[in-house]
Amino acid sequence: MGIEALEDVLEKRIGLRNLDTIRWNLSTAQLYESSIRRREAFLAHHGPLVTRTGSFTGRAPNDKFVVDEPGSRDKIWWGKVNRPFSEENFDKLLKKVCNFLEGQGLFVQDLLVGADTRYEMPIRVITQKAWHSLFARNMFIRPENFNRKIGVDEPQFTVLQAPHFHAQPAVDGTNSEAFIIVHFGRRLVLIGGTQYAGEIKKSIFSVMNYMLPQQGVLSMHASANVSDEGDTAVFFGLSGTGKTTLSADPDRQLIGDDEHGWGDSGIFNLEGGCYAKVIRLDKAREPLIYATTRRFGTILENVGMDFRHRKLDLDDDRLTENTRAAYPITHIPNAMYPGIGGHPKNIVMLTADAFGVLPPVAKLTPAQAMYHFLSGYTAKVAGTETGVTEPRATFSTCFGAPFMSLHPSVYGNLLMQKMQEHAADCWLINTGWTGGPYGVGRRMDINHTRAMLDAALSGALNGVAMTEDPIFRVMVPESCPGVPSEVLRPENTWEDKAAYRQQAEGLARLFQENFKEFEALVSDEVKDSGPQL
């Protein structure tokens, strides 16, 4: 890609001019990449880059907007997740951002989203800081790794990120000084006022959640891996439920840790990197992810560090519980890059039950899978979003409501259709609390969780006797290799059985109340497959 052509596109599509500084940064980046290739062995001995994101240490969901424009207006799932932003205010804000960036050194990356070439989307990410540019390069697919070149006219979406520009809500129509605004008509994402790099990643995920289902592809907030025999597994779940940890299995190849599509040929990763939560990461229990925190090229967001002695402290939560590691997926030794797998044999829905009453593992019928997918019950984990300081019960439809651009029924119907077509088994696994609710009980033992997951994926649970949970009506195995039998029945882990019953019935009512908004959109079989009192 020629520098002059890039300047032309930036000026015409974004409105930036006087781009000598961009020319300098691009030339420097090219020399830097060449240096990396020549000195790979030397750089392998260097550590990660530790960064700080300022006041925003997590996503800012109340600052996310979608421009209300004719081309996408009738498709968007308007509401709390996708709040409308006027085209007039967008144009004014974009102009102010461009004026603010005028004459500054910017960093440009041309990348790909989607490992399946039939559905890939070229993107351009323009950032104010070098480390955000590296973040984008870590997270998305790098075309030169596969001898792919993106021409200047090819990028289908552009991200313009200006973290040091702060909006004026009363003037600009935003909620605060931060903003994340998607304009589907102009194929542009505008980010400002926040240095949290996850906004770059998740804004593009919201874009793919708009684009892919319209091509018959199920976009999923899920991780995925595959066995040596080719059995693909998909893991749905919000941040903090164990998607990254459980999919990074030394005995299985990692396809991806967070965002995937399910197309005609199977599963494919939307990304080329991982964005793992690393607070209190344990080397013995999570060795693959732990090793990435020591690797050159990894970005550590808000991780504790003794800067004098250059020593990391993964237990340090003084800045946030939401400490993150952003690294190329190739940092995981058994990862597939690009990540492509077959149709899944098993689908796992992960939840972190803050009430401590859901079984740690249960098998779902197709109707129950649809019910729990649309419900998306979990607990919001401290620090994942601004203002969340401790886990609390929540329902996030499709296990990713903050990123769903279309109505949840679109994703739910696609999931049901693909599950039935490919005869996939579905499991509900609770990585949350046992022996009592949050504050009384304890977090599920990860070794027990891994044993239950291994048994489900290997088929070891298929011949085991199962009993229906009397309230949640899911089928719970009576035994599981490597797990004490009393752990499998939540009531057995509680000292106060009456308190257990009260909490379980309370959660069942929450399920029923939440599902009312979907009852008119699903069959009676799905509607009647949830908890009953």
Known catalytic residues are 59, 202, 221, 239, 243-244, 258, 324
Distances (CA, A) of 42 to 47, 438, 528: 11, 47, 61
According to DSSP, the residues that pair with 82 across neighbouring strands are 78
> What gap in Å lies between CA 239 and CA 220, rounded to an integer?
13
**Burial class of residue 187, CB neighbours in 10 A (0-12, 13-18, 19+):** middle
How far apart are the C-alpha atoms of 358 and 356, rounded to whole Å?
6
Show the DSSP H helices in 53-107 as ranges: 87-101
What is the rounded radius of gyration, in angstroms, for the C-alpha atoms of the chain?
A: 23
AA letter at 479: S
Q: What DSSP character marks residue 403?
A: G
The whole-angstrom separation of Cα 157 and Cα 428 is 36
Q: How far apart, in Å, are the Cα atoms of 418 and each of 196, 341, 365, 434, 508?
A: 35, 15, 14, 33, 28
Determine the Cα–Cα distance for residues 45 and 36; give it in Å rounded to an integer. 12
Nearest residue to 187 (alpha-carbon basis) of 123, 109, 257: 123
Residues whose CB falls within 8 Å of the CB of residue 199, separated by 6 or more in sequence, listed in order:
59, 60, 161, 180, 191
> What token pair was written down for 140?
């998305």
- Measured CA to CA, the distance from residue 353 to residue 372 in angstroms comes to 13
Residue 242: which of 430, 488, 439, 477 has the closest Cα? 430
Distance, CA of 269 to CA of 258 (rounded, Å): 8
Strands 299-301 and 49-51: parallel
What region, left, alpha or beta, does residue 302 occupy, with left being phi > 0 and alpha being psi -120 to 50 degrees?
A: left
The residues near 393 (Cβ < 8 Å, ≥ 6 apart) are: 354, 355, 377, 379, 507, 510
Sign of CA dihedral 262, 267, 271, 274: positive
8 A C-beta contact, residue 225 and residue 339 = no
Distance of alpha carbon 262 from alpha carbon 247, whole angstroms: 17
Euclidean distance between CA atoms 370 and 74, whole angstroms: 25
